[in-house]
Amino acid sequence: MIWLIGEFRKHDELADAIRDLRGSGFTAEDIEVFSEEPVELRKGVLDRPSKMSLTAVLSAMAFGSLATWFVYYAQNDYRLRSGGMPYFSFWSTGVITYETTMLGAILAIFGAFLWESRLFRRRHPHAPIPECPPNSMCLRVHCAKIDAEIGASKMREHGAVEVKQCD
Amino acid sequence: MAARAPETLSYGQIREDLFRPLSPFNSKWIFTCLAAFVFVVLGLVAWGFQLHDGMGITGLKRPIFWGFYVIDFVFWIGISHAGTLISAILRLTDAQWRKPITRAAEAITVFALMIGGLFPIIHLGRAWLFYWLIPVPNGRLLWPNFRSPLVWDLTAILTYVTGSVIYLYLPLIPDVAQLAKVNQTWRKKIYRLLSLGWSGSDTEWHALERAMKLMACVILAVAISVHTIVAWDFAMAISPMWHSTIFGPYFVVGAIFSGIAALMVVMSVIRRVMHLERYLTWRHFNNLALLLLLMSLLWLYFTASEHLTVWYGNEPSEMGVFGARVRGPYAPYFWAMVILNFVVPFILLGIRKLRTFTTATIASVCVLIGMWLERYLIVVATLGNPRLSSAHAVYAPTWIELAITAATFAAMVLLYMIFAKMFPIIAVWEFKPHPHEDD
């Protein structure tokens, strides 16, 4: 397996190259775009599905429920004279439930960011990272040696300024 | 020749301009840091005396058990709203002019929270027992009282600190990765560690943008709740002029008000000291000045509502506090607060011809002083005028409270200076309009 790195100056050319490469059998997993600012591509070109929102909601619910259960348990663990006040109060526990729900969401978002960005679980830890010049975008394609020529020609065809091959 | 608009500059130029202030420490920076450090040490010495001799050496005496410490706590938590609220609101509304100011604001939030969060511990007296607030069963098998607003505070502030640190850190990653590439000093290792191996791939950018959007939503809800809970520390007590249903929103408005003022003061200083005139332009100051003016009007509305209903109700104990505030011993503070929070900003920022960099900064400093006075009046006037008229008292802080208060301001300066020397105070990668954005 080898790496192809193509440098593009225009968004449209980059998007066309990705579309063409995917049409030729390269998967989204094989393709990555590198740039010094976020690159916005149209839907369907190189989607990166995310479960960050869902993770945040589920984690928020879990944290909130656990905190509420914990407060209930703690307030009933050792009964004190409370002057007629309930041991477990919905209203005052509401504040703690709310805050821990939010804490759950915050931690989940951070965790999901680390997971989805692949910062700690790189698919190919030794893959070459393109040195992308300012105002350009680099397309990195992972492919078999046999497909390298097709990949490189597709990139050149769509306006790649330079295409490099790395082992 | 007119200077080019920063948005049209290349990333290389922007990076050069914004990374330049991080270059080696100069004598002015070292001197200011040392001066701030001396004040911090003095504050620590004062705290040491308080720990050794007990709370008796402060001015906190019956019935005024909440003094400077609680005032400072509310003040700093209020300042912390600069970052999260302003940055999150502007991010969610996609206001493009926010870009050069968000990081400065988010850093204020983190440092103000760190400082504000110390005050409940200082105020405990026996600070080493702070862990009693944490829900672990102690030697007597008792859990904390979850109905206490102090436990609410702990939960809220922990959530807010966690969220604010992540909210500051996430957009810092791409810039830190760039710094790890270009920096050749001892900091390189720190930058590399903090960048988590960021390479600028689309997977990373997607995850970052998604995380920032979600964090903006969550942090906004947390920030509002935190200051509401701080307000409930007062409003849950059946004390005159505290037990009010509008205290939550009143405090939130006050917090945003003082947060914007703090942000403008900081921006004004970094603009001049770091020579960022090209990046922090009149447009940013003007927009923030107008926001400050709006918040001033909202603050006046809440203050008037709060005082008018008390006056109209004519309830004796409430009128005792009301009278002490508007015509009694606290009247100079009250009217100074009105002048600083409303009259000055209204004149300096409301009249277009008077609105300049200097007047906007002056108005912001006035608001900060005015908002500190507001918290002073809320805390001290009520506690000094309890329902039992024979228990009325006057609060006079000792050097201990004054030194600790001064130390917190010095700590803010110190932390901010270190941060601004370590990291770019303007987010480089966010600065230019991205392809999908319309200004």
Percent pLDDT > 70 in chain B is 95
Say yes or no to pLDDT of A67 above 90.
yes
Provide the sign of the torsion angle of the four alpha carbons B360, B366, B369, B375, taken in this order.
negative
Centroid of chain to Cα A131: 22
Q: Which of B143, B229, B429 sits opposite A75 (nearest CB)?
A: B143
pLDDT at residue B433, rounded to an integer: 57
By Cβ distance, the residue of A35, A85, A102 closest to B200 is: A35
- B159, A102: Cβ pair inside 8 Å? yes
Closest CA to B157 of B93, B74, B235: B74
Q: Which amino acid is at B272?
A: R
The beta-carbon neighbor of A34 closest among B10, B162, B201 is: B201
CA B125, CA B11: separation in Å to the nearest integer?
A: 52
b/e per residue, B113-138, with b = 16+ CB within 10 A? bbbbbbbbbbbbeeeeeeeebebeee
Q: Is the pLDDT of residue A139 over 60?
A: yes
Could you say which of B12, B147, B206 has the minimum Cβ distance to residue A92? B147
Which pLDDT band, with edges at 50, 70 and 90, does A165 fall under?
confident
Residue with tokens 């604010």: B164
Q: Could you report the per-residue pLDDT of B259-286, keeping only the tens digit for each? A: 999 999 999 999 999 888 888 889 999 9
Alpha-carbon torsion A36, A158, A32, A109, what sign?
Answer: positive
Q: Which of the residues B132, B175, B176, B202 would you substitute to probe the A interface, choosing the one with the greatest number of A C-beta atoms within 10 Å?
A: B202
pLDDT tens-place string over residues B314-325: 999 999 999 999
Whether A50 and B210 have beta carbons less than 8 Å apart is answered as yes
Q: Look at B434 and A112 and tell me if their CB atoms are within 8 Å.
A: no
Give DSSP secondary structure letters for B311-340.
HHHT-HHHHHHHHHHHTSTTHHHHHHHHII
Q: Angle at Cα B41 formed by Cα B31 and Cα B108, nearest 5°?
A: 70
Is A80 in contact with B214 (Cβ distance < 8 A)? Answer: no
- B12 interfacial to chain A (CB closer than 8 Å): yes
- Contacts of residue B203 in chain A, CB cutoff 8 Å? 32, 48, 116-118
Mutate to test the interface with B, among A117, A121, A126, A132 (most CBs of B within 10 A): A117
Closest residue on chain A to B198 (Cα)? A119
Residue pLDDT, tens place only, B349-380: 999 999 999 999 999 999 999 999 999 999 99
A145: phi then psi, degrees, rounded to nearest 5: -55, -35
The alpha carbon of residue B365 is apart from the nearest alpha carbon of chain A, in Å, by: 32
Q: Report, as an integer, the average pLDDT of B162-176.
A: 94
**Beta carbons of B200 and A35 less than 8 angstroms apart:** yes
pLDDT digits (tens, 9 = 90+) for B92-130: 888 888 888 899 999 999 999 999 999 999 998 899 888
Contact B172, B194 (CB under 8 A): yes
Distance CA B91, CA B251 (A): 23
Between A154 and B35, the higher pLDDT residue? B35
Among B121-135, B234-248, B285-299, B332-346, which is the least confidently predicted range? B121-135
Nearest to A39 among B152, B174, B202 (CB): B202
What does the pLDDT average to over B155-182? Answer: 93
In this predicted model, what pLDDT tens digit does every residue of B408-420 receive, in sequence order? 999 999 999 999 9
Q: Search chain B and give the residue with CA nearest A101.
A: B159
CB B307 within 8 A of CB B326: yes
Task: Judge whether B205 is closer than 8 Å to chain A, CB to CB.
Answer: yes
Answer yes or no: do A32 and B203 touch at CB < 8 A: yes
Question: Residues B103, B431: contact at Cβ < 8 Å?
Answer: no
Residue B44, burial from CB neighbour count under 10 angstroms (0-12, 13-18, 19+): middle
**Nearest chain B CA: its distance from A62 CA (Å):** 15
pLDDT of residue B277: 87
A86 C-beta neighbours (distance < 10 Å), count: 11
Q: Note the pLDDT of residue B432.
A: 65
pLDDT for A25 beyond 60:
yes
**How far apart are the CA of A89 and the nearest CA of chain B, in angstroms?**
8
Decide if A106 and B162 are in contact by the 8 Å CB cutoff.
Answer: yes
pLDDT of residue B309: 94
| DSSP letters spanning chain A | -EEEEEEES-HHHHHHHHHHHHHTT--TTTEEEE-SS-----TTTS-----HHHHHHHHHHHHHHHHHHHHHHHHHHS----TT--SS-HHHHHHHHHHHHHHHHHHHHHHHHHHHTTSSS-SSTTPPPP-PPTT-EEEEEEE-GGGHHHHHHHHHHTT-SEEEEE-
Nearest C-alpha of chain A: how many angstroms from B142?
Answer: 7
pTM of the predicted model, to two decimals?
A: 0.91
H or E element in which residue B7 lies:
none
| Of B31, B10, B17, B8, residue with least CA distance to B414 | B31
Give strand pairing partners of A140: A5, A32
Residue B155 contacts A where some CB pair is shorter than 8 Å = yes
3-class state of residue B198 by DSSP: coil
A74/B146 CB distance under 8 A: yes
Name every chain B residue with its beta carbon within 8 A of the beta carbon of A75.
143, 146
The minimal CB distance from A106 to the residues B163, B201, B207 is found for B163
Q: State how far residue A35 is from chain B, nearest Cα, in angstroms.
A: 6
Q: Number of Cβ pairs closer than 8 Å across A and B? A: 159
Give A124→chain B minimum CA distance, Å: 13
Residue showing tokens 């679980």: A121
Q: What pLDDT is recorded for position A26?
A: 86
pLDDT tier, B1 (very low <50, low <70, confident <90, very high otherwise)? very low
Average pLDDT over residues A142-166: 85
Q: How many beta carbons lie within 10 A of that of residue B12, not counting itself?
A: 12
Q: Using a CB–CB cutoff of 8 Å, tell me whether B137 touches chain A.
A: yes
Instruction: Provide the sign of the torsion angle of the four alpha carbons B286, B289, B293, B295, taken in this order.
Output: positive
Q: A102 and B207: CB-CB below 8 Å?
A: no
More confident call, B339 vs A143: B339
Q: Which of B155, B196, B229 sits opposite A100 (nearest CB)?
A: B155
pLDDT band at B438 (very low <50, low <70, confident <90, very high): very low
pLDDT digits (tens, 9 = 90+) for B376-402: 999 999 999 888 888 888 899 999 999
pLDDT (0 to 100) of residue A75: 81
Three-state secondary-structure class, residue B125: coil
pLDDT number for residue B424:
92
Considering chain B, what is the average pLDDT of its residues?
Answer: 90
Chosen for mutation from A79, A95, A139 (greatest number of chain B CBs closer than 10 Å) is A95
Confidence at residue B434, expressed as pLDDT on a 0 to 100 scale: 54
* Cβ-based contacts of B427 with chain A (< 8 Å): none
Predicted local distance difference test score (pLDDT) of residue A92:
77
Contact call for residues B37 and B417 (beta carbons, < 8 A): no
Tell me the three-class secondary structure of B75-106, residue by residue: HHHHHCHHHHHHHHHHHHCCCHHHCCCHHHHH
Q: What pLDDT is recorded for position B2?
A: 47
One-letter amino acid of B161: V
Give the span between the Cα atoms of A102 and B226, in whole angstroms. 11
For residues B342 and B352, what is the distance between their CA atoms, to the nearest angstrom? Answer: 16
Would you say residue A56 has pLDDT above 80?
yes
The nearest CA of chain A is from the CA of B226 a distance in Å of 9
- Whether the pLDDT of residue B68 is over 90: the answer is yes
The residues, any chain, with a CB within 8 Å of residue B408's CB and separated by 6 or more, are B43, B72, B76, B115, B118
Quote the pLDDT of residue B140. Answer: 66
Higher pLDDT, A24 or B264: B264
Q: Are B322 and B311 in contact (CB under 8 A)?
A: yes
Residues 262-301 of B with CB under 8 A from A: none
Q: Which residue has the higher pLDDT, B16 or B211?
A: B211
User: Which of A53, A49, A21 minimizes the C-alpha distance to A157?
Assistant: A21
Q: What is this model's ipTM?
A: 0.91
